[in-house]
Chains A and B, each alone.
Chain A
Amino acid sequence: GAVVSQHPSRVICKSGTSVKIECRSLDFQATTMFWYRQFPKQSLMLMATSNEGSKATYEQGVEKDKFLINHASLTLSTLTVTSAHPEDSSFYICSARITTGNSPLHFGNGTRLTVT
């Protein structure tokens, strides 16, 4: 149980275009999902906390107008990278947890974004 599906796994886009990444909890409801960014051989940097039915909470230094997050249902959160630039190229990972006690984060397989 507790499967998180992320799509697409890889995407290449041109500078200036927008890209949407989907994150779905397949067998549980997730009122909260988290979006991380990971540079090569580096740690996971928390970008934002996605809250179902309300605005996302962004970490300091993350541009909310560039990284649009929508959490319209209890099983789906989307991250849209707007007006993408080459420096946005990275590995993006979504995660969610069952909201009980010490339950861990369950991760999607990640999306490798390349902006040309």
Chain B
Amino acid sequence: AQTVTQSQPEMSVQEAETVTLSCTYDTSESDYYLFWYKQPPSRQMILVIRQEAYKQQNATENRFSVNFQKAAKSFSLKISDSQLGDAAMYFCAYRTSNTGNQFYFGTGTSLTVIP
């Protein structure tokens, strides 16, 4: 299994401010996909953003953007203009490019948004 590491178990941010969540991964593959998922208290997993490893350009989805550093095997998530609804567990995920296409998840970061 691939290893995905999130070194920040908990983070907090003031409403309207910016926060960055860290993620690193270990792989010998050159082609793969990376994702950030959000899990609110309902426990429903919600896709936040995705990145293909072969793309150098960092993905952006509205207030969410990533900083993908392939050589460093780093994939951080930046949330701008944080909103109360952003409070959740955030999981970084790695998808292999082999036949199984399995997804492996990091340990998660619990984000608190302070009003």
Cβ of B45 and Cβ of A43 under 8 Å apart? no
Contact of A102 with B45 at beta-carbon distance under 8 Å, contacts A32-B101, A42-B108 already known: no
Cβ of A104 and Cβ of B108 under 8 Å apart? no
In the complex, A92 Cα to B115 Cα: how many Å? 33
**Which of the candidate stretches A20-28, A74-82, A105-113 sits at the interface with the other chain?**
A105-113
Note all chain B residues with C-beta closer than 8 A to A57.
100
Note all chain A residues with C-beta closer than 8 A to B103.
34, 46, 95, 105
Looking at the complex, which one of B33, B43, B91, B110 makes contact with A91 (CB distance below 8 Å)? B43
In the complex, A43 Cα to B103 Cα: how many Å? 12
Cβ of B43 and Cβ of A46 under 8 Å apart? no
In the complex, A41 Cα to B50 Cα: how many Å? 23
Note all chain B residues with C-beta closer than 8 A to A102.
33, 50, 52
A59 to chain B, nearest CB (A): 7
Cβ of A60 and Cβ of B52 under 8 Å apart? no
Contact of A97 with B106 at beta-carbon distance under 8 Å, contacts A91-B43, A104-B50 already known: no
Cβ of B102 and Cβ of A49 under 8 Å apart? yes
Cβ of A59 and Cβ of B105 under 8 Å apart? no
Cβ of A46 and Cβ of B102 under 8 Å apart? yes
Note all chain B residues with C-beta closer than 8 A to A91.
43
Cβ of B105 and Cβ of A107 under 8 Å apart? no
Q: Which residues of A pack against B, CB within 8 Å?
A: 32, 34, 36, 38, 41-46, 49, 57, 59-60, 91, 93, 95, 97, 99, 102, 104-105, 107, 109-110
